[in-house]
Amino acid sequence: MPLFSDLHPLGQRIWLDNLTRGHIRDGRLAQLIAQGVTGITSNPTIFHKAVTETADYAAQLEQLKETEPDPERRYEALVCEDIRAACDLLHPVYVDSGGDDGYVSLEVAPRFAHDESMTVAEARRLRGLIGRENLLIKVPGTEAGLRAFEWLVAEGVCVNVTLLFSLHHVARTFEAYIRGAHRWLEGGGNPVQLKAVASLFLSRVDTLVDKKLEALGTPQARALLGKTAVAVAKLAYQRYQDFFKGNEYFSYLRAHRIRPQYLLWASSGTKNPAYSDLLYVEPLIGPDTINTLPDKTLAALADHGEIGATLHLGIAGAEADLVELEALGISPTQAGEELQAEGVRLFAESYDKLIAAMK
């Protein structure tokens, strides 16, 4: 039975894709950290489930209804308490890693996904509200979101760029990071203060592309079922190598101790029961990466995960799979655009439901 720390010598960190007050109070989060979990991601869907399906927030919410008239600020009061507590639990990891790990993510309200100035303003506000150095502000990888991301990096804000679904999204994110990092360094910023990750969503890619393949129904199409997301991830890692290991533009930043922007595998819980429950874990283990896992997938990894360096394997096959998809008339880039638009919509819906639960 592997510990999550068993992946550390291979260069990968495991984060928990879930944050609830129950996990904090009953000691489960502290236990997971002791076993090698080194970060946490959260989103409106996760918090909506925690608030509506547990009694952990009921008493505080009733008190807030008497003192805070704005439902959105009530939500922030609840979530900020959890975020600060999680940041504090992970702070030793942050210190031991020299600021490279031990982060907790908090998302800017999804309604600002296409508003650059408001994303920047909200990121600044949330950063000040939490008041913890190991906080990552989540912004979406939309066009406006990436412009905001570049601006925030130039201010020294640590950011998790979310809702990335394609190689195009990943490349645009890396470009924005490098531009922002240059501005931060040229302005006299502390290079080791910067930290950013790029969250590439996986299971949703296969869900959409598999539907398109099933609609075609040919043997060639069926042979590609369940292969797209892992192929995109492996090739995204090749892009990472190109941008941050062999890129002369980044070499100046690297010489000045600016960190690369790590890839983070998100949406890594398998949705299709016909596939391995570790489909988005075992084939994607490699240096300078993070995998954020929901509780069920985390338990599966601890129970029967096979640990080994795999991210560098099967690159030619991954390239061939995406070429074959294009030949069948399915564009992974276009699928990424569809998924990002849907992701923004779904997070906005979850956020609206969450705020409604505060009333």
Task: Name the residues annotated as catalytic.
Answer: 138
What is the three-class DSSP state of 43? Answer: coil
Using an 8 Å Cβ cutoff, are 98 and 55 in contact?
no
DSSP 146-200: HHHHHHHHHTT--EEEEEE-SHHHHHHHHHHHHHHHHHHHHTT--GGG--EEEEE
How far, in Å, CA of 43 to CA of 338, rounded? Answer: 20
Backbone angles phi and psi of 139, in degrees to 5: -125, 150
Q: Which residues contact 101 (CB under 8 A, 6 or more apart)?
A: 13, 38, 39, 93, 94
Using an 8 Å Cβ cutoff, are 155 and 184 in contact?
yes
What is the three-class DSSP state of 38? Answer: strand
Using an 8 Å Cβ cutoff, are 317 and 327 in contact?
no
How far, in Å, CA of 297 to CA of 41, rounded? Answer: 14
How far, in Å, CA of 250 to CA of 242, rounded? Answer: 10
Using an 8 Å Cβ cutoff, are 152 and 178 in contact?
no
Angle between helices 315-327 and 332-356 (to 10 degrees): 90
What is the three-class DSSP state of 99? Answer: coil
